[in-house]
Amino acid sequence: MQRLFSTFADGWPGAGLLLLRLSAGIALIHSGIVYAGQGSLAGTGAMEIVGVAAGAILIIGFLTPVVGALAATAKMWIGISLIWSHTGDPCNALVQATLAAALAMIGPGAWSVDARRFGRKRIGLSR
C-alpha cells in the first residue's frame, strides 16, 4: 500500500488536503441523498449509493486512492448518463468526479486514517 502514496503531506498542504477531502465527501453524500429522493434513472441509483459510501470513506481518509478512483468512476457514469439521456445537468456530477480523481492522484494527507495505517513509522526506543 505504501506505493500508492508518495508522502503524507503535513502542515498547510495537509490542511488543504483535509479540506479537499471534506468538501468532496460532503458533496458526494449530499448529491447522493438529493438524487435518491428524486428517483433518478435506474442505472444511476446504484452509482449514487456508491457515491454516498465513497464520500463517507473519503471524509475519514481510508484507502483514498482506491475509493477516490471508485467515486470518480461512479460520478463519471452518472454525468455521462445525464448527458446521454438529456434529463438533467451533468456539471455537478462531473465536478465531483474531478474532485474524487484529484484525491485519488494526490493522496489523503497526514490527517487521515491512511497516514496512521500506512505511513512511515519510527522503530526504536522512545525517550
Condensed to tens digits (0 to 9), the pLDDT of residues 42-89 reads 667 888 899 999 999 999 999 999 999 999 999 999 999 889 988 878
Residue 84's alpha-carbon distances to 12, 44, 79, 87, 95, in angstroms, are 41, 12, 9, 8, 17
pLDDT > 70 in the chain, percent: 84
SS3 60: helix
4 has a pLDDT exceeding 90: no
121 has pLDDT over 70: no
Split at pLDDT 50, 70, 90, the class of 39 is low
How much is the pLDDT for 119?
75
pLDDT recorded at residue 8 = 81
For the cut 70, the answer to whether the pLDDT of residue 95 exceeds it is yes
Instruction: Give residue 42's pLDDT.
Output: 64
- Report CA torsion sign: 10, 71, 23, 33: negative
Mean pLDDT in residue range 92-120: 89
